[in-house]
């Protein structure tokens, strides 16, 4: 995540609701209108089922208590507003507690097509549909629980499993390549890029993923493709801390992208 941001957290009232102004609601509405056709065409069935179950408001920014009420019934998860930037320790701890941390602000018009840090469109439209599915919710919780047991030096290794699956995972569905990750569902430009045939596609493999570096401020040059969702869910039952140790012993793969100061 970026080290600084021009965005400030919006604070909920005592009922957990946040006041968004007319322009912020309009940005949400326009993002939904622009993104839905691509989502319906390119996103995988688990995401689309979750989006239908949540039945998110399209005319204004949804409220976390309303989304939490639906998730609570389906999988026992909830959504909690947080500042734009939180540390990995807090992030893993919240996932372990079946709580999804949602940045409370929404992007400005000048960042309509791309924003480096997560905003509430990414959090709610991108992430919460998969949290309606018990298996995906359990996978996220397992990564969180592993994160609460590992040392700080392991955070950047463990988070790659989340990044290349829940955030930017792809899958094969009835012979077609589909997007699964929340970062793709909420990105106007990266969703078509991910399945365009231009980036590298690798088969899903936990150790390979843990060794693959990434940058958050570019379209990914590498995506991992899940052929069978059971392979993803089986990762939640692995000894992930042992996997991190094994990956560290092998070392990182060479990056497929230039250094940030040379990009």
Stated as kind and residue range, the H or E segment containing 209 is helix 206-210
Give 81's DSSP letter: E
Q: Is 127 a catalytic residue?
A: yes
Active-site position among 127, 140, 165, 187: 127
Contact (Cβ atoms closer than 8 angstroms) between residue 61 and residue 106: yes
The residues, ordered by sequence, that sit 6+ positions from 60 with a Cβ below 8 Å of its Cβ are 20, 25, 28, 29
In angstroms, the CA 78 to CA 91 distance is: 14
Active-site position among 123, 167, 187, 190: 167
Q: Is 186 a catalytic residue?
A: yes
The residues, ordered by sequence, that sit 6+ positions from 42 with a Cβ below 8 Å of its Cβ are 178, 179, 184, 191, 192, 195
Active-site position among 68, 186, 187, 190: 186
Q: Is 167 a catalytic residue?
A: yes
CA dihedral for 77, 85, 210, 48, sign (positive or negative): positive
Indicate which residues carry an active-site annotation.
Answer: 122, 127, 167, 186
């Amino acid at each position: 995540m970026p080290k600084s941001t021009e965005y400030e957290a919006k604070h909920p009232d005592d009922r957990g609701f946040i006041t968004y102004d007319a322009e912020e609601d309009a940005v949400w509405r326009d993002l939904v209108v622009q993104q839905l056709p691509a989502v319906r065409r390119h996103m995988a069935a688990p995401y689309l089922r979750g989006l239908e179950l949540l039945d998110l408001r399209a005319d204004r920014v949804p409220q976390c208590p309303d989304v939490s009420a639906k998730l609570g019934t389906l999988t026992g998860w909830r959504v909690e507003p947080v500042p734009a930037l939180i540390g990995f320790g807090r992030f893993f701890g919240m996932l372990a507690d079946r709580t999804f941390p949602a940045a409370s602000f929404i992007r400005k018009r000048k960042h309509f097509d791309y924003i480096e840090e997560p905003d509430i469109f990414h959090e709610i439209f991108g992430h919460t549909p998969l949290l309606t599915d018990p298996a995906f919710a359990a996978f996220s919780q397992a990564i969180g629980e592993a994160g609460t047991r590992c040392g700080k030096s392991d955070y950047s290794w463990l988070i790659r499993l989340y990044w290349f699956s829940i955030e930017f995972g792809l899958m094969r569905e009835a012979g077609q390549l589909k997007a699964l990750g929340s970062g793709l569902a909420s990105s106007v430009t990266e969703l078509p890029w991910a399945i365009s045939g231009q980036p590298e596609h690798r088969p899903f493999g936990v150790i390979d993923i843990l060794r693959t570096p990434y940058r958050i401020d570019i379209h990914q040059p590498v995506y991992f493709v899940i052929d069978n969702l059971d392979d993803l869910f089986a990762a939640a039952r692995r000894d992930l801390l042992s996997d991190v140790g094994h990956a560290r012993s092998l070392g990182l793969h060479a990056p497929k992208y230039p250094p940030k100061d040379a990009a």
